[in-house]
């Protein structure tokens, strides 16, 4: 049985769908609350759903798990409750790491490109202590993800027990089905679609840097299918461990993204520019791009989904459909 924390969330529910399609038994750990998040897993057979606070007791008498995939986290880049973020993004995955090390269970977990901060140190998925110590995330969320990466590196350096396989996945700017519950933290594709669907122009942030034109800020936009494919490959290749970037491998501008969105709608792009919100000033990444050499060297060969293909498919096959969930 696979255990997937955050299994009703965005990336997690897409992984649950893929595992269920392969006939795997999957236990989802998540909180559904009173929103529409349950729809993310409504179409798929699961072994059950467990609230995160019940996880420690479950693990004391759990059957031997096939793998643990930790996708659960407080992922809002605007989060301010440090104690809550630390408990969810550091303490809980450490507990899962220790369980997997003790029981001999493969362990995959979500890191984030937010660990790279403004990108001044580059985007190399180097898990050495020196490389990790040099990174300066721009927000509490990014710090928490880096803190766990550093915990893993320290445990390994001290020769502590480790899972037979472990992989930290630094996801870049992910978009695709089942992100509808994420509010402000949903992808730019989702938000710009909502504007375009109402007949309004897509609004983009003005640049406050002279080296970037308005809308020319660059992100590595990666389709969620590519993220799931990388995780499935890792689960199928248990001898591969490490910290890996997961992105498209090439940065594209927000202007490119909006162009792909309107092309999916069969319309010419309409864009207006707005000032950046005050809470993002000084905390906004102007360029991200995921070097994929480390993952490729490990043997992963699946081509990344092109932005135009991925956005067009997301718009036509999900966002424009009455039932947008996978």
Look at residues 286, 137, 289 and name the one whose alpha carbon lies nearest to residue 211.
286
Contact 89, 5 (CB under 8 A): no
Q: Retrieve residue 33's tokens.
A: 């609350």
The catalytic site residues sit at 141, 182
Q: Which contacts of 276-281 are long-range, i.e. CB under 8 A and separated by 24 or more positions?
A: 276/205, 276/206, 276/208, 279/78, 280/205, 281/208
C-alpha pair distances (Å), 195 with each of 176, 203, 217: 17, 8, 20
CA distance 139 to 317: 34
Q: Which residue has the tokens 């290749």?
A: 237
DSSP 39: G
């Amino acid at each position: 049985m696979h255990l997937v924390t955050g299994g009703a969330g965005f990336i997690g529910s897409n992984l649950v769908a893929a595992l269920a399609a392969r006939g795997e038994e999957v236990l989802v750990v998540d909180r559904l609350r009173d929103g529409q998040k349950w729809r993310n897993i409504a179409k798929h057979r699961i072994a059950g759903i467990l609230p995160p606070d019940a996880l420690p007791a479950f693990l004391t008498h759990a059957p031997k798990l096939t793998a643990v995939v930790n996708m659960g986290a407080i992922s809002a880049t605007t989060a301010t409750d440090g104690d809550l973020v630390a408990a969810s993004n550091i303490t809980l995955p450490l507990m899962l790491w220790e369980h997997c090390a003790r029981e001999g269970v493969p362990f995959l977990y979500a890191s984030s490109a937010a660990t790279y901060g403004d990108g001044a140190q580059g985007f190399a998925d180097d898990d050495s202590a020196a490389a990790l110590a040099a990174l300066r995330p721009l927000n509490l969320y990014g710090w928490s993800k880096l803190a766990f990466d550093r915990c893993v590196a320290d445990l390994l350096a001290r020769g502590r027990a480790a899972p037979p396989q472990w992989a930290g996945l630094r996801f870049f700017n992910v978009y695709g089905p089942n992100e509808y519950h994420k509010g402000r933290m949903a992808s730019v594709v989702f938000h710009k679609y909502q504007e375009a669907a109402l007949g309004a122009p897509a609004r983009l942030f003005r640049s406050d840097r002279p080296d970037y034109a308005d809308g020319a800020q660059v992100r590595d936009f990666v389709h969620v299918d590519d993220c799931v494919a990388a995780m499935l490959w890792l689960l199928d290749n248990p001898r591969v461990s490490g910290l890996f970037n997961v992105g498209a491998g090439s940065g594209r501008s927000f202007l490119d993204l909006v162009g792909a969105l309107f092309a999916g709608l069969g319309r010419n792009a309409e864009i207006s520019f707005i000032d950046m919100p005050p809470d993002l000033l000084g905390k906004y990444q102007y360029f991200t791009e995921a070097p994929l050499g480390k993952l490729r060297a490990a043997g992963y060969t699946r081509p990344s989904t092109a932005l135009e293909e991925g956005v067009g498919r997301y718009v036509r096959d999900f966002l424009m459909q009455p039932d947008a969930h996978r």
